[in-house]
Each structure stands twice: as C-alpha cells, then as structure tokens.
Structure 1
Amino acid sequence: MTDSGTAPSGVPGYDGPERYTVVSADCHGGGEIHEYRSYLPAALHERFDAWVADYVVPYPDLLGDAGKRNWDSDRRLADLEADGVVAEVIYPNTVPPFFPKPSLTDQPPAANAGDLSLRWEGLKAHNRWMADFCARTPGRRAGIVQIMLHDLDAAVEEIRWAHSAGLTGGVLLPGTPPGSGLVPLWQYAHYEPLWRVCEELGVPVNHHTGSAAPPVGDTALDKVVFLTEVSWWAHRAFTHLIVSGTMDRHPDLQFVFTEQGTAWIPEECRRLDYYWGRMSKAVGSQEYEWGHDLVSSMDLKPSEYWARQCHVGASFQRPAEAALRYQVGVDRVMWGSDYPHKEASSPFSREALQLTYNGIDPVEVAAMVGGNAAALYGFDLEFLAPIAARVGPRVADVYKPLAVEDIPAGADKCPAFVGIAGVKP
C-alpha cells in the first residue's frame, strides 16, 4: 500500500491510512538545571547560583547522554520518530530550581513551613522553559503547566498565563495526601476557583501517579512500599472529584488519570456505582443515612461521570488492559510511551503496540494510540499525517500477533511485555 489511503494488506475490511498517527499521552521532560536560571527573576539569580553550586543530580538517568533526552530538542525528536511517535504530551521530569527532587513526586512542605515561595518561582521557571521548548516544534508537543495548591490565586494566574503562552497540555493537578497540609480535593468550595478557570479555558486537568502518595523515607523498604502503593493513592482523586461535586458542577471539565494503569477503572466504577445505589435506594441502611443527601444532589452515577469527563493516560498498556477497552471506553484510552523513563516502551514502542493491539479493529487502535489524545490536547491530525506517513507504525504490522522471537532484547524493562512467553515476570 502507498500513503494515498488504499487498504493495507492483512487487515480485512480496513481502508484507512497505512500507518498510525501515534501521539504519546505520557512523556516526560524538563530543562538542564542551569537552563532555568534565565527564567527566574533577576533578584533570585544570586540565590539560584548558591543553590545550584551545591545541587547534586539525584538520579543517574538525569546525567550524561541519558539526561539530554529531557532537554535536547533535536535528540528527543529523533528518538520519538525512531520509535514511531509523531507528537507527545510532556509531563515534568527534571528537578526545578529550589526543589530537592523532581516535583512530580516530591511533596513541598506545609504552607506554614519551608521555602514555598522559592519553589513556586522554580516551578514558574520550569513552566516558561517548557513553553519555549514546545515552541521549538510547533504542533508536536503539548506541555503541561505545573502549579501549587497552597496559593490558588497564584495558581489561577499561572494557568491563565500558560494558556496564553501555548502550553496546550493543560494543568498538572498535584495530590493532597495526608500530612501535606493541603485541603483535600473533595472540599469543593476551596478549589472552585481552580475548576472554574480550567473549565473556562477548556484546559484538561491531568493527575499523574506520584504526587498523591504521602512522603516516605529513603530506605529500600520505603521505596518498595511507595512502588506498590503509589498508583492506589493516585486513583483516589477520581472518587474525591466526584464526591466533591466538581464533575457535576463543571460538566465540560475534562480529567486525565495518567500512568496509573487501566484495569482499575472498570472495577472502581462498579464499586462506586454500588455505593451510589445503596446510598440512593437502600432506605434504612447506614449507606443511605450517610450518603443520600449527597448522591441525590448529583445528576449521574460515577461510571457516567467517567464516560463523560474522564480519560486514562494508558502508559505502556498491556494486552489484558486493551481487552477492557469497551468497559473503559475506546474514546477514553490514550496510549503513552513514558519516554524517557526506565520503564518506558521506548525504543520498543512498535513492538509494544503490536503486542497490545494485534487483531483489534484499526479504527479503534487509531483512536487509542493517537486520535483521542489529539482531540483532547488539540493536536492537528492533518498536520501530523505527513509525518506519520513517514515514521508511524504500519497498521498491517500492528495487526499481526507479535512472535516471541521478535521481542527485542531488553524489552522486559517495560511492563507492557511482562507476563508473555519468554519474558521474565
């Protein structure tokens, strides 16, 4: 088949493009630490110089050639194209000024302690760096703006700035874990200014795994506990945003739950629907007594809020998760490679897509690997089509089952490949 749109061989009944337009809904990036200096107020340059003189890069993959993948625009573009990806949504990865660790997982101190004002300036410097980084490749990067929840007026102002600056990825919603000193997300009245501005501007609200977990120590045991619980903490935001009435009061607001898996969604919707049913109809029960007033004030049940307003950033999606696509919603799934993390499907994304989506209707696959993200984040599929025709995975290749012998060496670093024959669990 040529790129003219005639049907590719091996896919019965399909007559769409030969190659998929792949948009990764979960990538990460940030500036090299010294790059942030020019984005800080001049009054903080001396303070920054003193801080960076003692700064030690906390993770090996932020050093040397591996680290450059976060901020080297040409290198990054080449890596993604080699992996079959034509556009990306970029979450933070590197350490902003005045932070001890990457801001995606590190929890700032309580509002009455520490250096919140400095860290806020550091986040704003990252946001301005991100706007310039995305502008280097127009139409191919959707950067996400970071905020803090300690000062909502400042957060709202920053969201407005980001929207005007062309950061089309929306806002990164931090978690509010116990011990953080932050008002829980289910307290609607407190966060209403945030929801109002996001709905007004039409920007997605992204909740990535990591920030919702309470702080833990640095021992091996702490890290294992964090690893096994971090996604569970992130899932809780879905319940909190429903219970608060946020989704009910702001029906056009769109929420994204990224790098948290996919399989949890159908079961969580069933679980919450069960409680909604008990609270609305089981007269005389404890559930009815506690929850009737709340659920009777809402128009929908939890699964319906999901279907109307929620999306999953399905990082390195597994085959078993793709099988749940109708329960999750084919129009709700947005595949992501997680580039440049250690567990990313990159540079094996072509094989990962084939493993997960073989035998599935290419129209559905096209939505999950690119179309849904393009619609939510404003990517122009017509603009991306010529690039996809050059580098995108072939539809016919993805449609065929992936043979075990075709799994690349080293692919088992990515969870998408775990559990299949020949790959260690």
Structure 2
Amino acid sequence: MPSRKVNFPVFDSDSHMYETREALTKYLPDHAKGTIRYVDIDGRTKIVVRDTISEFIPNPTFSVVAAPGAQEDYFRNGNPDGKSAREIMGKAMKSIPAFREPAARLEKMDELGVDYALLFPTLASLVEERLKDDPELTHDVIHALNEWMFEQWTFNYEDRIFATPVITLPIVDRAIEELHWCLERGARTVLVRPAPVPGFKGSRSFGFEEFDPFWQACVDAGIPVSMHASDSGYSEVLNIWEPASEYKPFAPTTGFRTAAMGSRAIEDAMTALTCHGTLSRVPDLKLLLIENGADWLPTLFRNLEQTYKKLPQLFLENPIEAFKRCVYVNPFWEDSYSDVVDLLGADHVLFGSDWPHPEGLQDPLSLIDSKLSGLSEEDIRKIMGGNMSKLLGIEAKVQVS
C-alpha cells in the first residue's frame, strides 16, 4: 500500500519495464540477424552485441533482479559501513508480471497509488553506444526494439501507461521516418539519448542545424522529447585516466569513475543544445530530462551566464532563458526539490520514482512527505502529475480509489 493517499492525479515520469529476451531480436531484419545474441557463461546469461560480450547490464534477461527501492537507504544515507554492491542490493527477486506486462503493471500502479506512468525500456540503454560505428545498423536495431515494445506494451495502454519508443539520430531522415512510425501508433513522447550523435564521419552535436528538422517535427506533432540517462559514451573519456574495457555502472572498481562521471553527460548535452542554438532556433521544443538528476543545474547556469556575458554575439537570445522555456527536469528523488523549484519554477519540475529499479523508490508517493512538504499544495499537484499531464495532453483524473 502507498504511504499516503492524495486527492489529485499522480503521474510518474520515470518508470521502467524489464524487457524480455526477444526484445532486441524478434524483429531484426534478416541482414541484421546475429547482431544481438545471448550466451551462457559459467551458468550466467550474457548479451552479445556484434560478437562482443557486454557487462553493462549484469543480467540482461532480467529473470532475477534487485527489489524495487533496494538502494534507497544507500542513496538516502550513503554507505558508512563500506558495504559491497551486492550487500547494498540485498536479496534478489524473480521478475514478476508487473515488470513485463501492461495489465499486471496497471494493477501494481493501483496498489502504489500511481494513476499514470511514462514507461522507459531498461536494456535499450546499452544499444546505441555499442553500435555507434554503424549508423544504418543502429537504426535497424532500434526499430526492432520499437516494434517489440509496441507489440508487448503498446505506446498508450488504456490511456494510463505510456511506453516510450526510442529514436536514434545518426541519419536524420531515418530518425524522422521512425518518429512518424511511432506517432502513427500513438506515442506521446519519444526517447533520445543525451549523447553526441555518431555518424559516418565521426560524432557531432545534436544541437547542430542538421538536426533541426527532427526537433521541429516533434514540435509539429505536439509531443515533448524525453532524454533519459543512458550509456552516453563517456567511458572513452574516463579510459584515458583509468583504462577499462567497458563501463560497468553496477560494479565500479574504484571511486574514480563514480566521481568523475557525475552528471557530465547530461550537462554537456544541454550545453550543446543551448550553445549550438537548438533551443532558440526551435523555441517551442519541449525536453523532459528524466533520471538525470538536478544538482548540475547551478553549474550549467553559471557557465552559460559567464559565456553569454563574454560572447553575447554567439547567441540568438539569453541561453538561460532559452533553457528555462524549453526544459523540464525530473530530479533524483534524493535531490532537493525546493532548490530546483527555486531555479526553474514549479511548472518545469517533474516527479519520477524510477520504479522498479533498485535505485528508485519502493513507495513512489513517499516523495511527497520526504521532499515536497515545504512546497505549496498547488506546486505539489503540478510536480506530482499536473505538469506531465499537460505536457502529454492528457485530461488527467484520479484513477486509484
């Protein structure tokens, strides 16, 4: 049962599915068969991307997972006893239907007191980085995932669960084609990785003008674009300091990667979209920053302010004003929501529980008392659901009695 009841609709902007084993393989075109495989190593199943085993997600079948909210105490109070990752995760559990199927998920949402949810894939976070030297193949694999997602979840399940298809950007025309495919099937938002865009001639910023047709197509369709934390490729930078074959977020070998990685990916992504002009050339664009935290915002604003003061001729408008107009932020649940409200205004702050991930909240509604108690009732309503409902064009009402 939820920790409390509320008299307004709750919209969780950050919830997840655990994909089945066929999610990335069922709809692969013939020429791409074998790109994604699964192998058993010493009794454990691992995912193989183009003949390279990935450890990015330890159990890519999600048959056994950490319990929802298993790391709550870790993120709330730290780790004074120096526990291992396994000790922090606690006892694992077998995946339940609510992690895999929409009808069961709806029942679980009712139990948790959540009326609506934006649903993101989990396994998809590893795909683009491991295929970045083959743009055509990247588009093929992402489309296969979207076909599976639509079949398994739909993009709008009973006007309450909104699964979020992925758009990869290397070939802009294919990105726009994929966008229209998703829109025709009811998508209310799409997921774009906050990272440099790979291409045939190397990577580039998605803030460059060549991507404006995609961003404008999203505006014309009346949908926001979601940017959820992912593997944004920053292990290549960190490998200069501490060589490693692959970034393993669940098995850090030293404190360096945790400290150095920080919020660099999302901060750089938003710096690029602002300074390269997208937010000003496409002023009606709406971006939802999901599970990227918010403690990096003051640093970004300070850097933008100083740069604009020195080089105003390089901007079409004040970059901070552009950011505040276009961007909506879902802080980590352990962040200070009041600080983010002071910075952006309550209209641009979103609630997200990260359920059922272990770093999320076991009881999503507990956020109200733990982080929002100092805010006005109106601001709480906006953050807990009103803002998301408006962004997705939903006439929200309380579903859970």
* Structure 1 residue 223, shift from structure 2 partner: 7.2
What residue ranges of structure 2 are gaps of 5+ in the alignment? 48-56, 65-93, 237-243
More helix by share: 1
Mean CA deviation greater in 221-230 or 183-192: 221-230
1:127 pairs, out of 133, 136, 146, with 146
* Structure 1 residue 311, shift from structure 2 partner: 0.6
For each residue in 1:156-208, what CA deviation from the matched residue of structure 2 results, as whole angstroms up to 9, or x when unmatched?
10011111111112332441189996432265233223223222222222222
| TM-score, structure 1 normalization | 0.71
Q: Evaluate the alpha carbon distance shift between residue 315 and residue 373 of structure 1 in structure 2; reply closer, same or farther with a 3 A threshold.
A: farther
* Structure 1 residue 261, shift from structure 2 partner: 1.4
For each residue in 1:29-48, what CA deviation from the matched residue of structure 2 results, as whole angstroms up to 9, or x when unmatched?
2531235655444x469x35
Secondary structure at the aligned position of 1:190 is classed as helix
For each residue in 1:260-309, what CA deviation from the matched residue of structure 2 results, as whole angstroms up to 9, or x when unmatched?
212322442233123212223xxxxxxxxxxx3x12xx1x3122112211
1:27 pairs, out of 8, 12, 15, with 15
Alignment-derived partner of residue 305 in structure 1: 322
Secondary structure at the aligned position of 2:205 is classed as coil
Query: Residues of 2 paired with 1:136 and 1:260: CA distance?
Result: 24
2:306 maps to 1:274: yes
Secondary structure at the aligned position of 1:336 is classed as coil
Secondary structure at the aligned position of 2:328 is classed as strand
* Structure 1 residue 26, shift from structure 2 partner: 1.0
For each residue in 1:304-354, what CA deviation from the matched residue of structure 2 results, as whole angstroms up to 9, or x when unmatched?
112211111224253x33244122211000110011211111x22222321
Query: Residues of 1 paired with 2:148 and 2:22: CA distance?
Result: 11
What residue ranges of structure 1 are gaps of 5+ in the alignment? 1-16, 96-100, 281-291, 391-425
Q: Evaluate the alpha carbon distance shift between residue 177 and residue 225 of structure 1 in structure 2; reply closer, same or farther with a 3 A threshold.
A: farther
Checking the alignment, whether the CA contact within 8 Å between 2:23 and 2:149 is kept in structure 1 is no
Query: Residues of 2 paired with 1:27 and 1:81: CA distance?
Result: 14
Query: Residues of 2 paired with 1:118 and 1:178: CA distance?
Result: 12
Checking the alignment, whether the CA contact within 8 Å between 1:169 and 1:377 is kept in structure 2 is yes
| Pairing 1:389-404 to 2, within 5 Å after superposition | 390=401
For each residue in 1:352-387, what CA deviation from the matched residue of structure 2 results, as whole angstroms up to 9, or x when unmatched?
321111142111100001011111123321xx32x1
For each residue in 1:33-76, what CA deviation from the matched residue of structure 2 results, as whole angstroms up to 9, or x when unmatched?
235655444x469x359934666264348124337543222332
1:367 pairs, out of 382, 385, 399, with 382
Alignment-derived partner of residue 247 in structure 1: 279
Checking the alignment, whether the CA contact within 8 Å between 2:192 and 2:226 is kept in structure 1 is yes
For each residue in 1:101-141, what CA deviation from the matched residue of structure 2 results, as whole angstroms up to 9, or x when unmatched?
733xx613443x5xx54443332122123234135732112
Q: Give the total of aligned pairs.
A: 341
| Pairing 1:188-199 to 2, within 5 Å after superposition | 188-199=208-219
Q: Evaluate the alpha carbon distance shift between residue 56 and residue 242 of structure 1 in structure 2; reply closer, same or farther with a 3 A threshold.
A: same
Query: Residues of 2 paired with 1:24 and 1:225: CA distance?
Result: 32
Structure showing greater relative contact order (alpha-carbon pairs closer than 8 Å, 6 or more residues apart): 2
Secondary structure at the aligned position of 2:189 is classed as coil
Mean CA deviation greater in 217-226 or 124-133: 217-226
1:75 pairs, out of 86, 100, 104, with 104
Query: Residues of 2 paired with 1:379 and 1:94: CA distance?
Result: 28
Q: What value does the CA root-mean-square deviation take over the aligned residues?
A: 3.1
Q: Evaluate the alpha carbon distance shift between residue 223 and residue 240 of structure 1 in structure 2; reply closer, same or farther with a 3 A threshold.
A: farther
2:226 maps to 1:206: yes
Alignment-derived partner of residue 158 in structure 2: 138
Query: Residues of 2 paired with 1:181 and 1:329: CA distance?
Result: 40
Alignment-derived partner of residue 126 in structure 2: 102
2:209 maps to 1:176: no
> Kindly, what percent of the aligned residue pairs are identical?
21
Query: Residues of 2 paired with 1:178 and 1:39: CA distance?
Result: 23
Q: Evaluate the alpha carbon distance shift between residue 222 and residue 203 of structure 1 in structure 2; reply closer, same or farther with a 3 A threshold.
A: farther
Query: Residues of 2 paired with 1:140 and 1:67: CA distance?
Result: 20
Q: Evaluate the alpha carbon distance shift between residue 82 and residue 234 of structure 1 in structure 2; reply closer, same or farther with a 3 A threshold.
A: same
Q: Evaluate the alpha carbon distance shift between residue 183 and residue 363 of structure 1 in structure 2; reply closer, same or farther with a 3 A threshold.
A: same
Alignment-derived partner of residue 173 in structure 2: 153
Mean CA deviation greater in 156-165 or 201-210: 201-210
1:51 pairs, out of 9, 26, 37, with 37
* Structure 1 residue 213, shift from structure 2 partner: 3.8
Alignment-derived partner of residue 380 in structure 1: 395
